Amino acid sequence: MNDRARILTETADARADAERLLAGLIDARSKSEARLAELSRSDILKNLTGKSALDNAINSTQRMIDSLDRVLVELRTKLSPEEIALLDELDKTA
């Protein structure tokens, strides 16, 4: 695998990690909001700024995923058909 294909694979892996992180953050926000409601409390940061720390982390992670998507599209345009076929085969075995 050449450098471009390796970079594409590593970027795709980073994007998958970011997707898992995003799902975890969304789950944590739901649990946090439920717990605060259960305790009849409010999120102080959200009261002050309109967004909780988890909201900010979710937004930041989504922007990171969007950036990785743009990089992936750009990288794929620079690969030869043979390199793309090799990556597609690697994706099937992963």
pLDDT in tens, 4-46: 778 888 888 999 999 999 999 999 999 999 999 999 999 999 9
| pLDDT reported for residue 94 | 56
pLDDT in tens, 60-94: 999 999 999 998 888 888 878 887 777 777 667 65
Sequence-separated (6 or more) residues with CB below 8 Å from residue 71: 11
Q: Are 78 and 3 in contact (CB under 8 A)?
A: no
Sequence-separated (6 or more) residues with CB below 8 Å from residue 61: 18, 21, 22, 25
Instruction: Name the pTM for this structure.
Output: 0.80
| Six-digit token string for 45 | 């940061």
Spatial separation of the C-alpha atoms in residues 7 and 83, rounded to whole Å: 12
